Amino acid sequence: MELSRPRGTRDFLFYQMKQRKMVENTLKRVFESYAYQEIKTPIFENLSLFTQKSGEEIVEQIYYFKDKGDRQLALRPELTAPVARLYISKLQKSPKPLKMYYFGSCFRYERPQAGRFRQFWQFGCEIIGGKSPETDAEMITMAAHSLKELELEGFEIHLGHLGILRGILDEVNIVEKDQDHIMGLIDKGEREKLLKFLTKLKIDDNTLKILLELIAMKGNPQIIGNLKKILKGREKALNALQELEELLEYLEILQTDDYLLNLGIARGLDYYSGMVFEIYVPSLGAQKQICGGGTYNIIETFGGEKIESTGFAFGFDRLMSALISQGIDWKVSPVADVFIAPISPKTRKESLKIAQYLRLSGISTEVDLGRKKLKKILSYAHNRGIKKVVLVGERDLKQGKLTLKDMETGEQILINKDELLNQIDVLKK
């Protein structure tokens, strides 16, 4: 029997789960402070949900299968398309804007390497029916706020606008499908293939020059002046630039100023239409992108109304790697606050009773289930980082007493059984 894990998957042990839970809880807290509500969608969906408008690269990476009813299903590679499906089927009539967040695993058949897995987790959000640019500004601010709350250092927010690139391509009559392909090549940094494709499309030299210049443009908001000059006469692109400028004003209002404009951001998924952003942690190396998102039009593509939608997703695993390599002090709480140790077999039942009483009083308590000798119990409790052990002795118990041992100082005190039960709060310290 094959006992190894499938390639590109991982197991998470206790301490890793505690760290992941802490990050998940922080993200939940921040997202909820912006009035987002959690949703959950299935791990698998109909394959067609992802083949319509997700992009060539993602479609190639989909894990798909036929079920016993001959239906074509896919493990979700991302969650924006499922959320759009959910919106169209259940939420179109809800008051707008609709703010939703999710945390779940995604599957992509990629070549596994550091930071790139076949099963990975996304913590993301979508807002449907908000008006740009304040919606976009609030969302980018929430992403930055989350990372600050997690005390992540050295992250870079790169902000672009696909309306500029698509605007230029629209005006020279490049159809959407070819535009999507162009975005994919820009996203992957395939310059040679991009040049070849643009030449094949017979794009005029001036437009070609402008496109290449644009996708290499990075800098602070001062580059906008330069951009205006480059885009002179290209109305659609200039309108998108105007939108981007307004977004920057709102970002300033929300005190988010630590970003870089990067017109080369094209995103790897086809549904984006306007503002796009990515967050990098350069110390992670090749898989440095910990977050990606933007405004998109997938709902209309799926047959829903034309409605403004924006979202992003953190790559949770990459975020964890960045925090771990930074040496965050996790302050992980021990497995339990108290350990109840029966000293003799005759006090076993009473020990279980005491343990249960403490649990019902809100104190996490472990009791010896291994019928171990005291020495082994103490070393077990020590290894689990438990700070207080209650020794339940037969003679003590007859006199209504218990021994409370402080595992850090080694100090032992004899207390009344009632006193232990009354001093529950002291144990928590």
With 0-12 / 13-18 / 19 or more C-beta atoms within 10 angstroms meaning exposed / middle / buried, residue 60 is exposed
User: For the window 35-74, what string marks contact with ligand HAM as x by the rule CB under 6 A?
Assistant: ----------------------------------------
Separation of alpha carbons 160 and 315, rounded Å: 19
Separation of alpha carbons 106 and 43, rounded Å: 8
Single out the residue of 45, 126, 187, 270 in contact with ligand HAM (rule: CB under 6 A): 126
**42-56: buried (b, 16+ CB within 10 Å) or exposed (e) per residue?**
eebbebebbeebbbe
**Which residue has its beta carbon closest to ligand HAM?**
315
Could you say whether residue 308 binds ligand HAM (CB under 6 A)? no
Single out the residue of 181, 234, 318, 388 in contact with ligand HAM (rule: CB under 6 A): 318
| Subset of 355-394 contacting ligand HAM (CB under 6 A) | none
Q: What is the DSSP letter of 334?
A: P
Q: Contacts with ligand HAM: how many residues (CB under 6 A)?
A: 25
Could you say whether residue 78 binds ligand HAM (CB under 6 A)? yes
Single out the residue of 19, 63, 92, 110 in contact with ligand HAM (rule: CB under 6 A): 110
CB 135 within 8 Å of CB 246: no
| Subset of 134-193 contacting ligand HAM (CB under 6 A) | none
Instruction: Give 413's strand partners.
Output: 404
Single out the residue of 18, 96, 116, 417 in contact with ligand HAM (rule: CB under 6 A): 116
Query: What is the strand order of the sheet 309-315 is part of?
Result: 37-38, 98-107, 119-128, 309-315, 289-296, 272-280, 156-161, 259-262, 218-219
Could you say whether residue 20 binds ligand HAM (CB under 6 A)? no
Could you say whether residue 312 binds ligand HAM (CB under 6 A)? yes
Here the tokens at position 331 are 């302050």
CB closer to ligand HAM, 316 vs 339? 316
**Span from 20-28, 96-104, 290-298, 420-428 in contact with ligand HAM (CB under 6 A):** 290-298
CB closer to ligand HAM, 122 vs 179? 122
Give just the sign of the alpha carbon dihedral 34, 40, 44, 45. negative
Single out the residue of 157, 169, 313, 397 in contact with ligand HAM (rule: CB under 6 A): 313
Could you say whether residue 323 binds ligand HAM (CB under 6 A)? no
The upper half-sphere exposure of residue 383, i.e. CA atoms within 13 Å in the direction of its Cβ, equals: 6
CB closer to ligand HAM, 160 vs 292? 292
Instruction: Give 341's strand partners.
Output: 391
**Span from 112-120, 161-169, 175-183, 200-208 in contact with ligand HAM (CB under 6 A):** 112-120
**Span from 24-32, 89-97, 114-122, 329-337 in contact with ligand HAM (CB under 6 A):** 114-122
Could you say whether residue 289 binds ligand HAM (CB under 6 A)? yes
Instruction: Give 404's strand partners.
Output: 390, 413
- 400 sits in the region (left: phi over 0; alpha: psi -120 to 50; else beta) called left
Separation of alpha carbons 160 and 120, rounded Å: 26
CB closer to ligand HAM, 322 vs 402? 322
CB closer to ligand HAM, 116 vs 348? 116
CB closer to ligand HAM, 125 vs 241? 125
| Subset of 227-286 contacting ligand HAM (CB under 6 A) | 268-269
Smallest gap from Cβ 107 to ligand HAM, in A, equals 9
**How many C-beta atoms surround the C-beta of residue 396 within 10 A?**
17
DSSP character string of 11-58: ---HHHHHHHHHHHHHHHHHHHHTT-EE----SEEETHHHHTTS-HHH
Smallest gap from Cβ 309 to ligand HAM, in A, equals 8
Separation of alpha carbons 379 and 366, rounded Å: 14
**Span from 137-145, 242-250, 312-320, 324-332 in contact with ligand HAM (CB under 6 A):** 312-320
Could you say whether residue 82 binds ligand HAM (CB under 6 A)? no
Smallest gap from Cβ 237 to ligand HAM, in A, equals 22
Here the tokens at position 346 are 């005759």
Separation of alpha carbons 118 and 1, rounded Å: 22
> Which residues of this chain interact with ligand HAM, rule CB under 6 A?
78-80, 108, 110, 116-117, 120, 122, 124, 126, 268-269, 289-293, 296, 311-313, 315, 317-318
